[in-house]
Structure 1
Amino acid sequence: MPRKSAPIDDFDRAILRILQRDARTPQRTIGEAVNLSAAAVQRRIAAMEQAGVIAGNVALVDPAALGLTVTAVVEVFLRDERTASIDRAKALFRETAEVQQCYYTTGGTSFVLVIVTGDMRSYEELTRRLFSDHEWVASFRTLVALDRVKSGMEVVVR
C-alpha cells in the first residue's frame, strides 16, 4: 500500500543526500555539513525513519566479489494479468535470492527483473525454475549486461 508523502524540508533533503552516499556518516559530520547540531540530525533521521522516508540501511555488495559474474535484465510476459497469476509471480520472484530487483510493469511486459548468477549454466537452470516450469509464464526475454556502469538505489532528493 502506497504511503502518503512525508513532509520534508531542505535540511531533511540535505541529510538524505548525505545518507544515500554513505549511511555510516557520523551525525556530527552530517550536522556540520547541513548547519545543524548532531542531536537535531538524529531527531530528523529518526522522524524520517518513523515516517517511512528512510526505509532501511543496507550494505551494498559487489556481486563479482562473490563470484556472481552474470547480470541479466529479464522481461517476463505472463499469459494473463489475472490477480492470481500476478500474485504467484510476485511471490516466486520475491523468494528467489538471484532476483535482485523486481518491477511489476505496464506496456506489454508484465515484470522486469534484475538477476545475478555465477555463470550461464546457473542462469539457464534458474530460467527453467522461474519461467519454463510455470504455465502462467508465456515467455521471457533476457538482456545480459556487459558492464555495470551504474548501480544502487540513490533517489534524487531535490
Structure 2
Amino acid sequence: MDDKDLQILQLVQSNARLTADALSAEVGLSPPAVQKRLKKLRDTGVIEREIAVLSPGELGRDMTVIVQVVLERENRMYLDAFKRTMRDAPAVQQCYYTTGEADFILVVVVRNIAEYEEFTQQYFFDQSNVSRFTSSVVMDRVKVSLDII
C-alpha cells in the first residue's frame, strides 16, 4: 500500500459514493487506475464493507446505550455462543470482546427504555451465562465515525 492508496482510502471512508472520476481528480491518477486500486483494496480485505450511516433519530431509534457485559464462564464455547448471539441481535450496532472489567462492550440502539428492557430480558436475564451488565445511556452523539485514517 502506498500514499495513493491511503489517499483513496481516506476519501472513500468519508464518502463511499465518490466516483472513480472524482477520486482520480483528488489523487492524481486516472479513473481506471483508481478502479484497479479500489478493487485490490476490496479483494484484500482492506475495505471490509461500504455502508450508509443512518440517523437513528430519523428512524425512531432515539436511545443509544453503551453496555458492559460480564460473563459467568469464559471458555471458548460460551464466548463463541455470546458472540454469535450478539452478531444476530438487531439492536446491537457494535460488539467488542474486551480486556478489563467487562468481557464485552456493546453499543445498542433502541426506540425507548421499554424496548431496551425487552432487550435486556432476552439477551441478558434469559441467558444463563451473563453474570452481570452495566448500562450507560448516551446523552449526546458527540462523534460517530469508523474512520481510521
TM-score category by the smaller chain?
A: over 0.9
Q: What's the offset of the Cα at 1:135?
A: 1.2
TM-score (norm 2): 0.98
Unaligned runs of at least 5 residues, structure 2: none
Instruction: Work out which of the residue numbers 96, 103, 107 in structure 2 matches 1:110.
Output: 103
| Aligned residue among 122, 125, 134 for 1:129 | 122
Q: CA deviation at 1:14?
A: 0.1
Where do 1:47-58 residues align within 5 Å? 47-58=40-51
Unaligned runs of at least 5 residues, structure 1: 1-7
- How many pairs align? 149
Whole-angstrom CA distance in 2 between matches of 1:108 and 1:149 = 25
Q: Secondary structure at the match of 2:144?
A: coil
2:131 corresponds, among 134, 138, 158, to 138
| Alpha-carbon distance in 2 for matches of 1:114, 1:121 | 17
The 2-side partners of 1:50 and 1:128 are apart by: 40
- Measure the CA separation in 2 of the matches of 1:40 and 1:26: 12
CA offset at residue 144 of structure 1?
0.4
Aligned-residue sequence identity (percent) comes to: 38
- Corresponding residue of 1:84: 77
| Deviation >6 Å, runs of 4+ | none
Give TM-score scaled by structure 1 length.
Answer: 0.92
User: Could you give the per-residue CA deviations for residues 79-116 of structure 1, whole angstroms, max 9, x where no partner exists?
Assistant: 12111111111111110000000001111211000000
Q: How far apart, CA to CA, are the structure 2 residues paired with 1:56 and 1:100?
A: 15
CA RMSD of superposed structures (Å): 0.7
Cα deviation for residue 55 of structure 1 reads: 0.9
SS in 2 for 1:85: helix
* Aligned residue in 2 for 1:5: none
Aligned to 2:60: 67
